[in-house]
Chains A and B, each alone.
Chain A
Amino acid sequence: MIATAIQQLLNAAQLGAVYALIALGYTMVYGTIRLINFAHGDIFMLGGFVGFLLVSVIPGLPVAVMIPLAMFITAMIGVMIERVAYRKLRNAQRMSLVITALGVGIFLENLVRILVGPQARQIPAQLPNKVLKLGGGVVITEDKILVILISLALMVILWVFVNRTLIGTAMRAVADNRDAVQLMGVNLNLIIATTFAVGSALAAAGGIFFGQAYSIDPYMGIDLGWKAFIAAVIGGIGSIEGAVIGSFLLAGVEVLTVAYLSSNLKNGIAFGLLIILLLIRPNGIMGRAELKKV
């Protein structure tokens, strides 16, 4: 009984880690340019495919090289998307930007489908995946633990970057006052590009972890993207801590629903949670009401 519960919690932690890696990109982009980047789920998908391609093209590529390399390549793709599709619209109506993001997402899904076909694939196991027997009948594979630990480490690094470095400070300032940031000598394009790069790199890590545990296909970003977006909103979009909390919370609710109720109820309960939470806390768990600009 307790053993299954622990087992379920570990499953939830793994899923939550993947959600968080995606949710952080939503929250960071929103935090700087107030855009809900609806193409972000598809960047997560691209990250999975980049990892898959690297493993297929360079057999024997160590995982410790493959993951950072895939993160870097996906980061550059994210930067390119911002440069090509979003930058010109930065001062346009919010709605134009949102529609463009949706369009970019559909474009990416179809591009990948044309290039590699619609079928699902699994990224061949790269992380060590010996089965470990923890006491009391709890069984876990090494890769699950590694996914959770690597993800947590990435989150800590991100937190330090955003909260303790000058570039991170500038990132947070962009949302407050775009003109004033530039008056400090900050190159706005560089900061926004950095935001997209970091968000895309994290999503790529998520895509690879997901693709090893389950599978990748051109449309995987839709479902996962929405879930991560919901997690970011539950946590308070724009807040890094919020994205992480929201992700683990959502994953916990989903996994427990499947385990103890029914898998049919999973999405209904997840979205219901969103609605109830937003009724109670419209700005999310960690969200603050926007400070009034004086």
Chain B
Amino acid sequence: MSILEIKGLSVSYGAIKALEGIDLRIEEGEIVSLLGANGAGKTTALRAISRLLPIQGGDILFQGKSITQVPVHGVVSLGIAHVPEGRGVFPSLTVQENLKLGTWANKRKSAIPDLRQEVYRIFPRLEERKTQLAGTLSGGEQQMLALGRAMMTDCRVMLLDEPSMGLSPLFVKEVFRVIKEINATKGTTILLVEQNANMALKIAHRGYVLETGNIVLEGTSKDLAHDPRVKEAYLGHQ
């Protein structure tokens, strides 16, 4: 059984169809990338999975069970953490308080100190700045905080929406390294939405390509990286 399965998912904004029945399947422990240009529907797909958006058709299964009746605030306690586009940190709260809110739905209270230690081990900078307001962190630090906060939920699946967006090349490398580390050391399954196809395909096992609301390609990262259409549209001339 796949940990996350999306079947024929359609989402519209009024008359605008953003997703026209897409299928996705993610196995436990995988990193799966979802690639696509601006406006392809990547964010829409993640927001539908975490129930921030109503869906018009199809189904979303987590460990074989439909979650389309679960309220937004119920999704994280199932084990799905969503790091939204633009990071979604709470600028007027301190780094510590941001991390603490990540534990809101975490039922294993005894695991929280260990989780916090792990977050601080992976992101030493967050520990240095734990009393600082999140709004005063740099973009890269905010992304780390968003990832750390998702770790605090003790999730099985992370939905990451363009974690490398707007970061300097050094931070981009760091963010992808950390995603790989979280996946490797904790076995967290990751659905990675990216425009940086080059980097995403380096760490992902498999990938899907979304174009104006439809999945047009899928395969292993290796196959996708060599696909002429992907090379042309998403990998640039490298």
Q: Which residues of A contact B (CB under 8 A)?
A: 166, 169-170, 172-173, 175-177, 179-188, 291-294
Contacts and interface: CB of A to CB of B under 8 A. Distances in A.
Contact of B90 (A172, A182, A187, A292): A172
Nearest to B91: A291
A183 B139 contact: no
B104 A185 contact: yes
B84 interface: yes
12 contacts: A169-B93, A173-B97, A173-B101, A176-B92, A183-B50, A183-B81, A185-B105, A291-B92, A293-B86, A293-B91, A294-B135, A294-B142
B3 interface: no
Contacts of A177: 88-90
A183 B90 CA distance: 12
Contacts of B82: 183
Nearest to A185: B105
Given A183-B50, A294-B86, A169 B73 contact: no
Nearest to A291: B135
Contacts of B93: 169, 172-173, 176
Interface of B: 50, 52, 71-77, 81-82, 84, 86-93, 97, 100-105, 133, 135-136, 139, 142, 149, 153
Contacts of A173: 90, 93, 97, 101
Per DSSP, chain A at the interface is helix
B90 A185 contact: no
A172 B133 CA distance: 13
A180 B88 contact: yes
Nearest to B71: A187
A175 B104 CA distance: 17
A170 B105 CA distance: 12
Contact of A294 (B72, B84, B91, B105): B91
Nearest to B82: A183
A169 B102 CA distance: 11
A170 B101 CA distance: 7
A185 B101 CA distance: 9
Contact of B92 (A172, A179, A188): A172
Given A179-B52, A291-B135, A292-B135, A184 B92 contact: no
Contacts of B77: 185
B100 A179 contact: no
B41 to A, nearest CB: 18
Nearest to A191: B73
A100 B101 CA distance: 32
Contact of B72 (A170, A172, A175, A182): A182
Nearest to B133: A291
B86 A176 contact: no
Contacts of B136: 291
A168 to B, nearest CB: 10
B30 to A, nearest CB: 22
A254 to B, nearest CB: 32
Given A185-B73, A291-B91, A291-B92, A179 B84 contact: yes
Contact of A184 (B71, B86, B91, B101): B101
Contacts of B153: 184-185
A166 B109 CA distance: 13
Nearest to B83: A183
